[in-house]
Structure 1
Amino acid sequence: MLSIIQAAGWPIWPLLLCSVAALALVVERSMALRRRQVAPAGLVDEVLQVLRQGVPSGDVLGKLAANSVMGMLLATGIRTMAQDPRCSETLLRDSFEAAGRSAAHKLERYLNALATIASAAPLLGLLGTVIGMIEIFGSQAPGSSGANPAQLAHGISVALYNTAFGLMVAIPSLMCHRFFRGRVNDYLHDMEQGAERVVHQLLRMDRHPPERHQGSKR
């Protein structure tokens, strides 16, 4: 590997940095986008079961928000109902939508950076190819006694190694970006469906405090 890097010349160093950054982003997103970290199975059903007994306390909502990204989304909407039991349906849905936008931003973090690496790596490889071709033609300068085999071989290696390495970085980065994008879309769909179920349950609840009746006077 060291001999390949030395043969490819200085244009391969930006590609090496891109490969390290892409690997770090893939590992980070793989850990952050796990099912239990985002939308655990059965969480919505547990929340609905708790809501059938009434609006939960602040401690319960805090634990729900710390559970996962979906838990944070549901806790935000339920907290709106807990603070104002007579809030309108529009206000309740706006609260869920705002929390959903925040959740989407959290899930999509670093995906643009991964897409940028996937797009830039072939261009950096092409840059190395152009530099290698320049060295090749430079070795064939007019007035020289003949072709310099060493310089010619070095130019060809720079051109080919950088092109290959650029594709080796770009293809896995693009595949991982598409995979993570699809997973995020699936999570957002699940959170949207779960939030809709919780909204319907909250709207069906008795949100008006019971009236106190006075006894009849004799």
Structure 2
Amino acid sequence: MDLLSRWTEIEAFLNKGGPAIWAIAILSVLTTALILWKVWRLILMGAWAGRTTEKAVQRWAVGDRSGARALLDGRRSVRAVVARSAVTARMGGAYSETEIREEVERVASGQLARARTGLRALELISTIAPLLGLLGTVLGMIAAFQTLQQAGAKADPSALAGGIWEALLTTAAGMAVAIPAGVALTWFESVADRAQTDMEDAVTRILTRHTPPPAMAAAAE
């Protein structure tokens, strides 16, 4: 019974804002689901995991190629996948320098595309949510002043004030959705940008490191 009364209160609140606030409410649910899904996806992609890749690059730098490959094998993080593609292409010896770079760029582009999946949707939500709120406010103000005009000299100022604050609910609701969406978008973009920087650094260090002298390679092993 308590849940039913709570839902009745929520429904009454949404009805005060009209269709615009219902649309904003749907956007709020989608925004929450999208943010949670994106965090989960980034965790699965290992967007914050980079220590193993750094260790592998360090081993590669001193000539321990097999050790570097062993550290990267089986890793699913975006940095490790790209670094492994560079190591594999370099160790294969069957590709030219241009072909190696093209292959690594292909793998890196795919990983970055996965890391940025869903960001366009968040950007769209952060843009249209306040616009929907403003639209709802404008429509509510129009309705309030139409009521005032129809009432004529008998207009009740309290009724007008009530109509105005109900109209302003949509603006507040739109901002309440747009602000978290914008913050999450900036955060996810920073995570993707950091991963891109780390991948470029790792690939450059791998591809520019040539075969070490035999003495150095033996010492590394």
In the alignment, which of 11, 18, 34 is matched to residue 9 of structure 1? 18
Aligned equivalent of 1:113: 121
Aligned equivalent of 1:169: 177
Aligned equivalent of 1:97: 105
2:198 & 2:71 partners in 1: Cα distance? Answer: 22
**Further displaced range: 189-198 or 146-155:** 146-155
Aligned equivalent of 1:41: 51
Residue 30 of structure 1 pairs with residue 39 of structure 2: yes
In the alignment, which of 178, 194, 203 is matched to residue 186 of structure 1? 194
TM-score (normalizing by structure 1): 0.77
Q: Larger C-alpha radius of gyration, 1 or 2?
A: 1
Q: Percent identity?
A: 28
1:55 & 1:85 partners in 2: Cα distance? Answer: 15
**Further displaced range: 112-121 or 47-56:** 47-56
Is contact 2:82-2:107 (8 Å) kept?
yes
Unaligned runs of 5+ in 1: 207-218
What is the identity, as a one-letter code, of the residue corresponding to 2:52? G
What is the identity, as a one-letter code, of the residue corresponding to 1:21? L
Residue 199 of structure 1 pairs with residue 210 of structure 2: no
Shift of 1:205: 6.6
1:198 & 1:40 partners in 2: Cα distance? Answer: 15
Unaligned runs of 5+ in 2: 1-8, 214-221
What is the identity, as a one-letter code, of the residue corresponding to 1:204? T
Residue 68 of structure 1 pairs with residue 77 of structure 2: yes
TM-score (normalizing by structure 2): 0.76
Matched residues, number: 201
What is the identity, as a one-letter code, of the residue corresponding to 2:59? Q
Shift of 1:200: 2.7
Is contact 2:82-2:104 (8 Å) kept?
yes
Aligned equivalent of 1:146: 154
2:151 & 2:14 partners in 1: Cα distance? Answer: 32
Shift of 1:81: 4.1
1:143 & 1:159 partners in 2: Cα distance? Answer: 19
Q: RMSD of aligned C-alpha atoms?
A: 3.1
Is contact 2:52-2:72 (8 Å) kept?
no
Is contact 2:83-2:203 (8 Å) kept?
yes
Q: Secondary structure at the match of 2:74?
A: helix
What is the identity, as a one-letter code, of the residue corresponding to 2:211? R
1:124 & 1:180 partners in 2: Cα distance? Answer: 24
Change (3 A) 1:27 1:143: closer
Change (3 A) 1:23 1:106: same
Q: Deviations over 1:27-81 (max 9, x none)?
A: 122223349713431323236537945569x9997624xx211222123333434
